[in-house]
Amino acid sequence: MNIAPMPPGRPKAFDSTEALRAALQVFWAKGFAATSIGDLTDATGLGRQSLYNEFGDKQKLFAAAIQNYRQCETATMASILRKEASTAERIREFFRVALDAHFDGHRRGCFLTSSIAIRSEIEPELAQLMDEAVNDLRRAFVKCIQDGIDSGEVSANMDPEALGMLFFTQAQGISVVGKCQRDRATLDRSIEALLATLK
């Protein structure tokens, strides 16, 4: 009599990526400190033990959320600054996409920018991970400016590090101001004023 082999284990009944994205949305809306394990189990649909088994404690889940955001949203925005276009066109498109996101009805700003305020509440390793993720965008701006200098679009007298930081700082500022500023036209004009520094 042949006996069928037992399956290697019970398959997961959930998508860990979807669960992580759901957790990220909670951290984004409530912040790290105000988010409870109950909030996370409600959002992900996982039981407390399943949540711990898959992601570890709340800090580890927050770290995974940062990495997910970095690999998805931050990487997408940084890729705009690496497109085959002029430096001004790349930067203009970057801010257009960023402002579109702010005016889509959510007005949550950037997850990483919002999370910077809670650096004192988390372990140094998490704070470093957050800093690295934020710096991805700063480096993308610097490279974009350097490309403009190399092509002659931007004056060779310009400091790419300083200009890159200027545009990066504007991006972070819009992430905050965009939550309450309802006048899109004013924000658009502020971007054009900033682009004028490239000339």
Render each residue's pLDDT in the chain as its tens digit; 199 residues: 344 444 444 345 568 899 999 999 999 888 888 899 999 999 999 999 999 999 999 989 999 999 999 999 999 999 999 999 999 999 999 999 988 888 876 667 788 887 776 766 677 888 888 889 889 999 999 999 999 999 999 999 999 999 999 999 999 888 877 667 778 899 999 999 999 999 8
Q: Determine the Cα–Cα distance for residues 91 and 118; give it in Å rounded to an integer.
A: 29
Provide the whole-model pTM. Answer: 0.83
User: Residue 177 burial (CB < 10 Å; 0-12/13-18/19+)?
Assistant: middle
Q: Determine the Cα–Cα distance for residues 177 and 179; give it in Å rounded to an integer.
A: 5
Neighbours of 141 (CB within 10 A): 26
Asked whether the beta carbons of 47 and 41 are under 8 A apart, the reply is: yes
Angle between helices 160-177 and 184-195 (to 10 degrees): 180
Mark 143-172 as b/e (b = at least 16 C-beta within 10 Å): ebbbbbbeeeebeeebebeebbeebbebbb
Quickly tell me which residue has 């949550």 as its tokens: 108
User: What is the sign, positive or negative, of the torsion defined by CA atoms of 37, 24, 105, 130?
Assistant: positive
What domains does the chain contain, in order, with CATH numbers? 65-198 (1.10.357.10)
